[in-house]
Structure 1
């Protein structure tokens, strides 16, 4: 199943309280449970006025459906084609 990065513009995203994060997470989990399609929310990063979420789904349409049903913005949905980090420099070409 492809992985996607979802950019959500939410003013003050990096200042959301623990209670707000709990509520958002519970809503997202409930929507995932009700989608009826394979779907995994991995994690979310809060940075400035944005949330960056990593989700697995069969298509971007499923991501947009999750956002719509949850009442979340989904300003940009991009399929993740590759991941790499510092250890990648040690791999043979």
Structure 2
């Protein structure tokens, strides 16, 4: 299944409390449950003013639908073409 990175511009998001992040995660998971198993949230990175989310989804339209239904912005959606890590450098 294709993997996507979603960039969400959310000023001040890095200052949210654990409870607020918990509520946001619950909102996202609720929408995902209604959409079915074809779209999966892998994890997210919270920075000062953005969240970078990694999703497995059949297509970009599914990612956009999740963003619309959850109320979270999806300012940029990029399909992952390859994954590399330090082991990629090994011969």
TM-score bin (small chain): over 0.9
What SS does the aligned partner of 2:84 have?
A: coil
Aligned-residue CA RMSD (Å): 1.0
CA distance in 2, matches of 1:64, 1:55: 11
CA distance in 1, matches of 2:60, 2:16: 26
Which residue matches 2:29? 29
Which residue matches 1:69? 69
After the TM superposition, list the runs of 4 or more consecutive aligned residues in structure 1 that deviate by more than 6 angstroms: none
What is the TM-score with the length of structure 2 in the denominator? 0.95
Which residue matches 2:10? 10
Q: Identify unmatched segments of 5+ residues in structure 1.
A: none
Q: Identify unmatched segments of 5+ residues in structure 2.
A: none
What is the TM-score with the length of structure 1 in the denominator? 0.93
